[in-house]
């Protein structure tokens, strides 16, 4: 197949499947994006795992446990989708542990109060949904199909987070203040999740041509702001952006400037929790060695048995 024939398939919205011919650059950028998406899911379990033992009720603990378990599953779907492109699981995990691969900037921030469990669900999963609903129509088949299942679970994640925040806002003045303080810390990092401004994004233009992305970073960020501001207003919370205002002409909210210096520092590995996050992942990986060995030994035994029976 020629590049032109490949692009014609993309333009006709025909899904690209693992065995189809694809430009090396298409394969490479998909491995990059999908594996980093998977890393984000797995590393994203850590800030929430920090609050399992401190959940304020059995109900909240059960919900948080279910959400964290979902994230592990999302990571596995996405690692499997990336493996269809020829990248091994071991090399992806190695790239994460050595800092060669990124994970979402948002998970570099600490979770300091129970309200953060609400903000992570409401804002982080809310932002992830904006991005992931669009990815249900991405041109690479296995990625698009993984997204359909993931998005169903994300909407539960976002709703349970919003319910945590709403409960705090309807509680004592101190609880409402906890929710406001949490929003103040998570609002701007949530906007950074969508990536650099379009004009500063080295990957967006080509990703749009190949329909890996269906919307640009700024378009999805704007959608998230437009959807989230009314939710905060409904709760009586203030978005920590003095420049935020509704623009009747644009029919969108105008918002203030993101601290891009902070964003680029975080994605360069200098985020507040990056060392701890990678150390936790490396420790879990090392301690899980015996599980991988046992699973491999079992599957080898099964293979031998099947050969004997055949």
Q: Does 271 participate in binding ligand 3HC (rule CB under 6 A)? A: no
**Whose Cβ is closer to ligand 3HC: residue 180's or residue 204's?**
204
If one asks whether residue 196 binds ligand 3HC (CB under 6 A), the answer comes out as yes
Considering only residues 214 to 233 of the shown chain, the ones binding ligand 3HC according to CB under 6 A are: 217
Closest CA to 130 of 236, 217, 240: 217
* Closest among 48, 196, 211 to 140, alpha carbons compared: 211
Residue of 9, 15, 27, 32 that binds ligand 3HC (CB under 6 A): 32
What is the nearest approach in angstroms of ligand 3HC to the Cβ of residue 36? 6
Closest approach of ligand 3HC to the CB of residue 189, in Å: 9
Question: Is residue 31 close enough to count as binding ligand 3HC by CB under 6 A?
Answer: no
Q: Give DSSP secondary structure letters for 242-288.
A: TT-EEETTTTEEE-----HHHHHHIIIIISTTHHHHHHHHHHHHHHT
Q: Which stretch binds ligand 3HC (CB under 6 A): 99-107, 165-173, 244-252, 298-306?
A: 99-107
**Candidate ranges 29-37, 140-148, 273-281, 284-292; the one touching ligand 3HC (CB under 6 A):** 29-37
| Under rule CB under 6 A, residue 71 binds ligand 3HC | yes
Assess 78 for contact with ligand 3HC (CB under 6 A): no
Distance CA 142, CA 208 (A): 18
Residues 132-191 that bind ligand 3HC (CB under 6 A): 154
Chosen residue from 35, 105, 139, 274 binding ligand 3HC by CB under 6 A: 105
Q: At 262, list the tokens.
A: 């902070």
The alpha-helical segments, DSSP class H, found in the chain are: 3-11, 24-43, 45-49, 58-83, 89-97, 115-119, 126-135, 141-169, 173-192, 204-209, 217-235, 260-265, 274-287, 289-309
Helix, strand, or coil (residue 28): helix
Per-position DSSP letters for 285-307, written without gaps between them: HHHTHHHHHHHHHHHHHHHHHHH
Give the binding site for ligand 3HC (CB under 6 A).
Answer: 32-33, 36-37, 40-41, 44, 71, 74, 102, 104-105, 124-125, 128, 131, 154, 192-196, 201-204, 207, 217, 267
């Amino acid at each position: 197949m020629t590049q032109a024939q490949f692009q014609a398939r993309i333009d006709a919205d025909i899904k690209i499947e693992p065995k189809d011919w694809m430009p090396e650059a298409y394969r490479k950028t998909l491995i990059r994006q999908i594996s980093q998406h998977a890393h984000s899911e797995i590393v994203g379990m850590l800030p929430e795992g920090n609050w399992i033992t401190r959940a304020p009720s059995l109900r909240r603990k059960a919900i948080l446990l279910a959400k964290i378990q979902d994230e592990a599953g999302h990571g596995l779907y996405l690692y499997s989708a990336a493996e269809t492109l020829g990248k091994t699981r071991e090399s992806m995990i190695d790239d994460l542990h050595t800092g060669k691969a990124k994970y979402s900037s948002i998970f570099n921030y600490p979770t300091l109060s129970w309200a953060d469990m609400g903000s992570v669900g409401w804002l982080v999963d809310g932002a992830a949904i904006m991005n992931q609903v669009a990815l249900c129509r991405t041109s690479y088949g296995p990625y698009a199909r993984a997204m359909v299942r993931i998005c169903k679970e994300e909407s539960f994640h976002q709703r349970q987070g919003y319910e945590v925040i709403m409960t705090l806002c309807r509680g004592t003045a101190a609880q409402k203040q906890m929710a406001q303080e949490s929003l103040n810390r998570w609002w701007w990092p949530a906007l950074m999740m969508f990536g650099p401004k379009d004009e500063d994004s080295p990957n967006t233009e080509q990703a749009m041509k190949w329909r890996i992305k269906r919307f640009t970073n700024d378009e999805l960020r704007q959608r998230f702001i437009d959807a989230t501001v009314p939710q905060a207003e409904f709760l009586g919370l203030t978005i920590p952006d003095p420049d935020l205002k509704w623009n009747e002409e644009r029919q969108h909210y105008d918002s203030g400037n993101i601290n891009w210096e902070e964003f680029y520092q975080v994605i360069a590995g200098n985020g507040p929790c990056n060392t701890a996050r990678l150390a936790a992942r490396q420790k879990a990986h090392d301690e899980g060695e015996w599980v991988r060995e046992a699973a491999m030994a079992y599957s080898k035994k099964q293979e031998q048995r099947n050969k004997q029976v055949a």
